[in-house]
Structure 1
């Protein structure tokens, strides 16, 4: 028998609480972002009914298709963009999302700065760091981060912190620890790191936002 949305949510929240206890942190210091990419609105509603209020989507177009109707019934949630953002979608993202986790290049800084000026919404952004130096993944190179942060501040982009995705199949703890150190070095409190398979480790190493999909929704089709 499959688990209900409430049961899955309770299990994830219990794991968050356990990791926080070990790290001597408070559970309320960690935001659970339920990554609903590829899942239809009918799969999202049960989690909304169970009390989850922060969700993440990978693509602007997919979010535009699903979430306006959900906002008609649930007005008090936050929607985060956790996937890569094309510069030509910056204005759409500014209008739709409450937080962006994938600011990673100067051209996107410029596009978001213009979008925020036009829409009047200044959406907090995490700067994505290529923590594992993987060319196939998005993210700013560690050596380029200081300049990108300066450019974001000059564009009046609110900086929420840093985001990373460690290399797949490798122990993530060293990468999370490095991300936490880089964030500290730059005076940034937010750390968006950790997914279904490793979020307890991320929490113990300072994550403020964990992006959990499979553990809440099950495997994607």
Structure 2
């Protein structure tokens, strides 16, 4: 029985090879090196057994949408593979900040002052400093997390000055019914204005274009692991 038959999903090694080739091609077009882009394999709903082939294929950076789901699989996987890095790429509730700081190496979804305060408190308690991205709601969608672009400056200043947090860059999720490019441009300009070098933008449908607009982290799930159940 092959990996697809055993798990009901395609072999992630195949998807990884295709995504890595597309990243390399996008970097070539953008006059960048593939090493300048971190592939965050979005592993929502993928089991421990489903992740093992991806780790075996050399993928060491993963993104989870929910703290609780990540707690159910990454402690075990890290016992087996201590070299892996785990990112939170979904929204974070303030009351989950303690667990998030303990588990994740990078948090992509900081978007409000009370969350900054909670993260700073838990960092001090645990002696940990995960790298942070501020999520920007570039489409001003009421149903979506993220700070509005016009409120970014104040939030970033609070993160840096008031809470001494390590803000590495910015993240966005463009509206599904709009081209991503204008949103990538807005995010890249905001990062440049604030001296931030990391941009988390681009998913399975648009990560190659995001790289051409400066993405340093692309969050790719279905192109690697297949469609979600």
Query: TM-score scaled to structure 1, two decimals?
Result: 0.98
Match of 2:117 among 100, 110, 119: 110
Shift of 1:186: 1.0
Partner SS, residue 72 of structure 2: helix
Partner SS, residue 156 of structure 1: coil
Q: State the partner residue of 1:33.
A: 40
Alignment partner of 1:81 is 2:88: yes
Alignment partner of 1:127 is 2:134: yes
Q: State the partner residue of 2:12.
A: 5
Alignment partner of 1:180 is 2:188: yes
Q: State the partner residue of 2:7.
A: none
Partner SS, residue 207 of structure 1: coil
Q: Deviations over 1:59-92 (max 9, x none)?
A: 1110001111111111101000000001011011
Q: State the partner residue of 2:207.
A: 199
Distance 2:175 2:14 in 1: 30
Match of 1:52 among 47, 59, 71: 59
Distance 2:185 2:16 in 1: 27
Distance 2:14 2:137 in 1: 34
Distance 1:147 1:5 in 2: 41
Shift of 1:110: 0.5
Shift of 1:169: 2.1
Aligned length: 221
Query: TM-score scaled to structure 2, two decimals?
Result: 0.95
Q: State the partner residue of 1:161.
A: 169
Q: Deviations over 1:40-74 (max 9, x none)?
A: 11111110010000000011110001111111111
Partner SS, residue 79 of structure 1: strand
Shift of 1:129: 0.2
Q: State the partner residue of 1:62.
A: 69
Shift of 1:5: 2.0
Contact conserved, 2:101 with 2:122, CA < 8 A, in 1?
A: yes
Shift of 1:170: 1.3
Measured on the aligned residues, the alpha-carbon RMSD in Å equals: 1.0
Q: Deviations over 1:129-165 (max 9, x none)?
A: 0001111100001111111001111211101100000
Distance 2:208 2:50 in 1: 24
